[in-house]
Structure 1
């Protein structure tokens, strides 16, 4: 049986780990000391509309030498990646597959540099959050995992089989890079819109921001196209519909993290896209203004 290591036991890792454990997979969580103590004592709590449950889970703080895993799923936020990569060195062998489940693209390059040939791509679609008491809260029934090859390397069949469990809709693609870019373009456009205009979509529309939302979408999708991964018409329509819905209370996770003072991924998602726009000579005034606004706040 494949040994699976999930890095992080937050919203994404907590829900997906639950499904893997329920399906009998050999799962271990790599977490920080405080989270390790909670999991060892109480398991991982998950709350849904139907109520709160918990499941027992194995957890470690640091892999021991020789403690190699077949599959590693990375579910932490971008600021944690440098320490995670350092901590994973004992867990990665020549046949280990690493699938970072983050938005953006820079993380794949980071893992590829540290562990050449081990990286594949993945996207987790889920509406979940982590309460202050570290209870995982799944907000909707949406739970979808898209995985596949990158850099011409396919996802091994046995890895796909290990990830195929009840409760998760699994989609396997020969090359998942285009899907990663499509999600990144959406996440960036949503971040630019809600951060720059400081509100939810409904309020921005009511204030007359419809056309500027479309401009933000166009900028981010232009970067994807210039990088060789144009967003499909269907995905473009979904993005526009979601970000221009009157009375919508939607805000991006980037905006929420910024407003709440949480660890956030603005440089990973918006700073990196702004840099690529500059390198590709793609005009991106709204994206650049948003990045400057965030960086100015951080200076203070």
Structure 2
């Protein structure tokens, strides 16, 4: 299988490197600085499941052509437009695009750009970081990749990818017939976590220890579950019970990547998670006050960031 990975950061570098170990022909489509880093040092992964250091094939934007079975899309949602332009020359009649972005809005965008038959659904669950020296550091035992056809079929290309992933060290992969449900499932808990942690500027344990914090998080979780149900994806009670317990744990320390990015003064996926859920709440007739407040908070932060008015900056 010929696989083009857009990006060689924490996510793309890790899964791309593991697929390379499994025997796939892999190339990384990266910006010039990362390309030079990979040329000098190779792709380096440090992981509890085994390290990797090897030279890899790279392409700079503008150098990719057709002939790929799969394009693994690992960008942030706010970079999607640039990513589409970058991979467009590489997508031909045989190519499947597998995005592992947060949220759901990117699926419709990619289907519009490349055709529904070219787009898979996907979820990555991994905690990793790209160190300044270019090393991909895998931080815990999360190494999960879930994917499938958006129409629910178990196609030959999905099965072939699952067989490849089964040979990849340090990867737990699953091809599923209900990938859209899985993506909604992730959005319910991710959206709840983002609304709470961004509004309160605190992790889940800190929110739980604050007066009314548990009730607030449970209320938002129920509303997000109602949004998913209105879109044909009713959540499993056991799944919701797990997250009610997480949000009620006063010793918890879970914080979203959106909160970490916000506190670091970085770009955030405000439109793709908070904005998407706000619009979905309105369409579903679900009470939207918390969604509106979180989205407004995030967009006001972006205004301050763009104006250079963040504290200490």
TM range (shorter): over 0.9
Higher mean displacement: 197-206 or 60-69: 60-69
Corresponding position of 1:191 = 194
- State the Cα distance separating 1:84 from its structure 2 match: 1.0
- Would the alpha carbon gap of residues 198 and 5 (structure 1) be closer, same or farther in structure 2, given more than 3 Å must change? same
SS in 1 for 2:4: strand
- State the Cα distance separating 1:86 from its structure 2 match: 0.9
Corresponding position of 1:163 = 165
- Would the alpha carbon gap of residues 142 and 5 (structure 1) be closer, same or farther in structure 2, given more than 3 Å must change? same
SS in 2 for 1:219: helix
1:62 and 2:61 are equivalent in the alignment? yes
1:236 and 2:240 are equivalent in the alignment? yes
- Would the alpha carbon gap of residues 65 and 258 (structure 1) be closer, same or farther in structure 2, given more than 3 Å must change? closer
Unaligned runs of 5+ in 2: 305-313
Q: 1:234-262: CA deviations, max 9, x gaps? A: 22122222222222221111111111122
Is the CA contact (8 Å cut-off) linking 1:219 and 1:287 kept in structure 2? no
Equivalent of residue 200 in structure 1, options 203, 212, 216: 203
Corresponding position of 1:144 = 144
Q: Distance in 1 between matches of 2:55 and 2:220?
A: 44
Is the CA contact (8 Å cut-off) linking 2:270 and 2:299 kept in structure 1? no
SS in 2 for 1:134: coil
- State the Cα distance separating 1:159 from its structure 2 match: 3.0
TM-score by length of 2: 0.90
1:1-300 correspondence runs (5 A): 2-48=1-47, 54-62=53-61, 64=63, 66-116=65-115, 117-152=117-152, 154-155=154-155, 156=157, 157-164=159-166, 165-208=168-211, 209-300=213-304
The number of residue pairs the alignment matches comes to: 299
The structure carrying a bigger strand percent of its residues is: 1
Is the CA contact (8 Å cut-off) linking 2:227 and 2:280 kept in structure 1? yes
Q: 1:242-292: CA deviations, max 9, x gaps? A: 222222221111111111122321211111111111122211211211101
Is the CA contact (8 Å cut-off) linking 1:194 and 1:252 kept in structure 2? yes
- State the Cα distance separating 1:207 from its structure 2 match: 1.5
Is the CA contact (8 Å cut-off) linking 1:123 and 1:180 kept in structure 2? yes
TM-score by length of 1: 0.93
